[in-house]
Amino acid sequence: MHIPRASWLLAACMGTIINASDILEVDLVFPRNKTYAPADRFPVVFAFQNAERARYLNPAISYTLWNLQDLDDTMTNSHDLRGTNWTDQDTYLAHSYHTLFKNEGRYKVSWTVTWQSCDEDAFKNKLSTAKMIDNMTTWATYFTTQSSAPKVDLVAATAEKTCPEKYGVLMNVTDKTMKVPWNVRWSGGDYTNDTCAVVAKSTPTATPEPCRVHIDKTTVESMEASLWLECDANNVKVEGSTPSGTSVFLFLSFF
């Protein structure tokens, strides 16, 4: 397993307005099931749509990149989002750049979103066996790098209005929050004042729409150029981390 040589991580949110709703959506917005030119710094970008709903869920993303021609050439990365300020954010982007895709090849990105929510009945009834409800979803996307293919362009790649791939994680996060009982251990509690959200059991009827996320040039430039930047114009907020991956907002970890 390779340690990434020069990968760094930062996260951004854009001004895209998602209709206020209970539905939190997590998507891989780049790469898609396409062919791209190899790149020294190849982005992997996840989006939280209606991101404010993530506030009490302690969400995390981990993913593995596989070089399908050389299965030893694999790396795993994760976004620990506990320090994220989810307030007032429509779309939150978590991204990293990777050096794995310098050569032509066929690759797989397998990604997992985890989150925790209140167990309403157990918490209300003060059950001694009460625990957080743990949930996770995993998806995978395949893509190819080829010298003759178009250069990686996040603006163009996310300009499409619709996309055939409807993979994404939908959560119906209700307005209801609860205090996590003292006897329930939860690593997210330190970041939410021990508050959890009730997630509806039924699967939302909506379908994921990763193509609703459009990344503009300004956001790309701030992703590429700056490791520490906050700009409030257009509700754009970029939180960065150092190349070693340590920061107060995000932690980069390898395992």
Ligand X SMILES: *[C@@H]1O[C@H](CO)[C@@H](O)[C@H](O)[C@H]1NC(C)=O
With binding defined as CB under 6 A, does residue 229 bind ligand X? no
Q: What's the gap between Cα 161 and its chain centre?
A: 20
Candidate segments 61-69, 93-101, 163-171, 246-254, binder of ligand X by CB under 6 A: 163-171
Q: Residue from 9, 61, 109, 170 that binds ligand X (CB under 6 A)? A: 170
Closest to ligand X by CB, 19 vs 203, is: 203
| Pattern 11-50, ligand X, x by CB under 6 A | -----------xx---------x-----------------
Q: Does 179 bind ligand X (CB under 6 A)?
A: yes
Give SS3 for 234: helix
3-state secondary structure of 233: helix
Residue 1 or 159 with smaller CB distance to ligand X: 159
Find the part of the chain contacting ligand X (CB under 6 A) among 9-17, 40-48, 195-203, 243-251.
195-203
Residues in Cβ contact with 159 at an 8 Å cutoff, skipping those fewer than 6 apart: 214
Q: How far is CA 5 from CA 10, 182, 222, 224, 250, in A?
A: 16, 42, 21, 17, 19
Q: Which stretch binds ligand X (CB under 6 A): 9-17, 41-49, 151-159, 201-209?
A: 201-209
| Closest listed residue to residue 21, CA positions, set 51, 60, 46 | 51
Q: Closest CB to ligand X among 33 and 187? A: 33
Residue of 15, 38, 105, 204 interacting with ligand X (CB under 6 A): 204
Question: Is 87 near ligand X (CB under 6 A)?
Answer: yes
Would you say 92 and 47 are in contact if contact means Cβ atoms under 8 Å apart? Answer: yes
Nearest-angstrom CA–CA distance, 240 and 254: 18
Report DSSP letters for 198-228, one per residue: EEPSSPPSS---GGG----HHHHHHHHH-SS
Chain contacts with ligand X (rule: CB under 6 A) = 22-23, 33, 85, 87-88, 133, 135, 165, 170-172, 174, 179, 193, 200-206
